Amino acid sequence: MSSGGAFGGNRGLRPVPPEKGVFPLDHMHLCDLDKKEYLNCLKTAGSKSEVCREFSKKYLQCRMEKNLMAKQDLAELGFKENNAETPGGKITERIGDQH
């Protein structure tokens, strides 16, 4: 018989931190305002996330500052400093001098 318990867990082992991409819940509501701004933007933009990139960036920055996720370069999360806004209002990424 195993010593793991009713659901297979071993009560004597320490928990392992979550893998990258899994965030601890914000029990203290430290980033609620940023989260609500992002979700409201998604709702009004018809769930088009590219329109709400600045809100998403702000929310992730809040989570990193409050240690709710690992600190990471925003470029690795898809927010590059060399993004430029086009006349149509869409954000495009400039990649070298390709024509």
Beta strand 91-93 pairing with 83-85: antiparallel
Q: In whole angstroms, give the CA distance from residue 81 to residue 72.
A: 14
Closest CA to 23 of 55, 58, 57, 71: 71
pTM higher than 0.85 for the full model? Answer: no
Q: Residue 3: CB partners within 8 Å, gap ≥ 6? A: 10
42 in a structural domain: yes
pLDDT of amino acid 12 = 67
Q: Are 52 and 41 in contact (CB under 8 A)?
A: yes
Q: What are the structure tokens assigned to 51, written together? A: 């329109």
Domain count, the chain: 1
Domain of residue 44, residue span = 26-72
65 in a structural domain: yes
* Residue pLDDT, tens place only, 8-57: 655 667 767 656 656 678 889 999 999 999 999 999 999 888 999 999 99
92 in a structural domain: no
* Residue pLDDT, tens place only, 44-93: 999 888 999 999 999 999 999 999 988 999 999 888 865 444 344 444 44
5 in a structural domain: no
